[in-house]
């Protein structure tokens, strides 16, 4: 089965980049990305690719090369569904904020709405691909809705979870560690799996394309993120111990990372992990485990989240404690708001929660991030509903010049590991700050000794002050 037309519902951080790369590598396939958000689709269609809504190194060039050739962005969802042979679902699946499973279970209302719209519009058989991160057994929910409301058509459901790291998403898509495809173990299911395998095989080595049953595929996505987050929380737990001893977490990480059984990746101590997936997927895993009565399993994975939240809180408390136990009326500059470098994604960013803590202590904040907009910073803070929007805008200023942002600050806090921060004229920044001038390096990014020679008081994760 040779696929000629693909539709992706959802033009966000997964759908946009994934479809752009598929379009680039498979010029014979028409790829249409649809979303009901008119503003987002307009941004994807902006002639200036610097204005597309997702920032990823290299993405703009790929979009510019394929757009209006075989890559299209549209709000006409029904037409795209009707024309497509294969439909990717890549909509948001946030953690529920209401009802049963509040705070842990995934909210699948957008997934269900997609299924119902596909069933309503489709006039022929379709392959439906789960691309959003979903709980185990969601495929059966999709199959049930489509089978019973789809006018007797044949729908095959595939699980094709994304394993992208934001900031390197294009690189990960072009040269993935693996592509995972799960489907029904039947002749029809095998045929659908092969259709998706053939698409990826246009540029991915066949030995990197793994096929499983649909349940294994769904659980593998949650498990991969849980394991990575576990490593971050583990090294962060040890970083606190290092701060109370003569140990240096960077030296500890290098020593244990040299063990081939452990390896060096995800051993960078920091203010904590963020992003759309880690916390959501672990909470989902916790909820699933508890629903089966596996409380010890749930408790184990929940501790990863508890440790991450603790790391953010103690970073904020360290700033307060160092500044003589009060930050009221004191200006603190945040360098970085995105949850990691090379992305404009701020979901679950540590900066949001550290800022919230300091604002509750009546601090004055100045924020600079090279890719995050002022609108997004305030959207993040307003969503917490801790203070009124007016209070947030009075206490926090977003400044697009890092040097101006640091002027007359009592302290600078590094919240995102943007490479450009390492190249700043730190002597100039020091001269513009109130003394003693403090740096709180939440990403272990800067040269501590060089900063101390300038005169800074340096406080880094995992080393004693």
pLDDT at 327 over 80: yes
Q: What is the DSSP string of 358-423?
A: HHHTT-EEEEE-SS--HHHHHHHHHHHTSS-HHHHHHHEEE-S-HHHHHTT-SEEEE-S--GGGGG
Question: How much is the mean pLDDT over the chain?
Answer: 94
- Per DSSP, the three-state class of 240 is helix
Active site residue 317: no
Active site residue 406: no
- Which of 126, 221, 268, 331 is catalytic? The answer is 221
Q: How confident is the model at residue 456 (pLDDT cuts 50, 70, 90)?
A: very high
For 259-308, what is each residue's pLDDT tens digit? 999 999 999 999 999 998 899 899 989 998 999 999 999 999 999 999 99
Query: How many Å apart are CA 139 and CA 134, to the nearest integer?
Result: 9
For 201-219, what is each residue's pLDDT tens digit? 999 999 999 999 988 998 8
How much is the CA Rg of the chain, to the nearest whole Å?
A: 23
Contacts with 353 (C-beta within 8 Å, 6 or more apart), sequence order: 309, 312, 313, 316
pLDDT at 375 over 90: yes
Active site residue 221: yes
In 3D, which of 173, 171, 167 has the Cα closest to residue 54? Answer: 167
- Which of 114, 242, 277, 406 is catalytic? The answer is 277
Query: How many Å apart are CA 323 and CA 335, to the nearest integer?
Result: 18
User: Percent of the chain, pLDDT > 70?
Assistant: 98
- Which of 56, 162, 166, 218 is catalytic? The answer is 162
- Per DSSP, the three-state class of 210 is strand
For 66-122, what is each residue's pLDDT tens digit? 999 999 999 999 999 999 999 999 988 777 788 888 887 777 788 888 989 999 999
pLDDT at 133 over 70: no
């Amino acid at each position: 089965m040779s696929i000629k037309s693909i539709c992706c519902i959802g033009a966000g951080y997964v759908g946009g980049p994934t479809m752009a790369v598929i379009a680039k590598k498979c010029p014979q396939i028409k790829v249409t990305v649809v979303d009901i958000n008119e503003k987002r689709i307009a941004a994807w269609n902006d002639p200036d690719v610097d204005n597309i809504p997702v920032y990823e190194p290299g993405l703009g060039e790929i979009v510019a090369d394929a757009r209006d050739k075989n890559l299209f962005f549209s709000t006409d969802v029904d037409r795209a569904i009707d024309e497509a042979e294969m439909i990717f679902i890549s909509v948001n699946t946030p953690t529920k904020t209401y009802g049963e499973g509040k705070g842990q279970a995934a909210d699948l209302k957008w997934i269900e709405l997609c299924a119902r719209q596909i069933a309503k519009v489709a006039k022929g058989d379709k392959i439906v691909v789960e691309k959003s991160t979903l709980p185990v057994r969601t495929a059966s929910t999709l199959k049930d809705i489509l089978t019973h409301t789809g006018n007797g058509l044949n729908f095959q459901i595939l699980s094709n979870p994304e394993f992208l790291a934001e900031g390197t998403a294009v690189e990960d898509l072009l040269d993935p560690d693996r592509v995972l495809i799960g489907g029904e173990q039947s002749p029809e299911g095998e045929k659908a799996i092969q259709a998706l395998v053939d698409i990826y095989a246009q540029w991915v080595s066949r030995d990197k394309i793994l096929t499983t049953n649909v349940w294994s595929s769904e659980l593998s996505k949650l498990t991969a993120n849980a394991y990575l987050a576990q490593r971050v929380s583990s090294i962060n737990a040890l970083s606190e111990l290092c701060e109370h001893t003569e140990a240096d977490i960077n030296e500890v990480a290098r020593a244990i990372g040299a063990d081939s059984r452990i390896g060096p990746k995800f051993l960078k101590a920091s203010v904590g992990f963020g992003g759309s997936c880690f916390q959501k997927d672990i909470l989902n895993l916790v909820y699933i485990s508890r629903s089966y009565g596996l409380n010890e399993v749930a408790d184990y994975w929940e501790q990863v989240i508890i440790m991450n939240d603790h790391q953010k809180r103690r970073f904020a408390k360290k700033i307060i404690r160092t500044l003589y136990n009060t930050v009221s009326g004191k200006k603190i500059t945040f360098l970085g708001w995105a949850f990691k470098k090379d992305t404009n994604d701020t979901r679950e960013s540590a900066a949001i929660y550290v800022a919230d803590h300091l604002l509750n202590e009546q601090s004055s904040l100045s924020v600079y991030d090279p890719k995050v907009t002022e609108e997004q910073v305030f959207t993040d803070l307003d969503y917490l509903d801790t203070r009124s929007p007016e209070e947030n805008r009075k206490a926090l200023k977003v400044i697009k010049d890092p040097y101006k942002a640091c002027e007359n600050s009592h302290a600078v806090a590094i919240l995102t590991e943007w490479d450009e921060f390492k190249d700043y004229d730190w002597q100039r920044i020091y001269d513009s700050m109130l003394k003693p001038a403090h740096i709180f390096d939440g990403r272990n990014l800067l040269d501590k000794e060089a900063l101390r020679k300038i005169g800074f008081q340096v406080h880094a994760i995992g080393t004693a002050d």
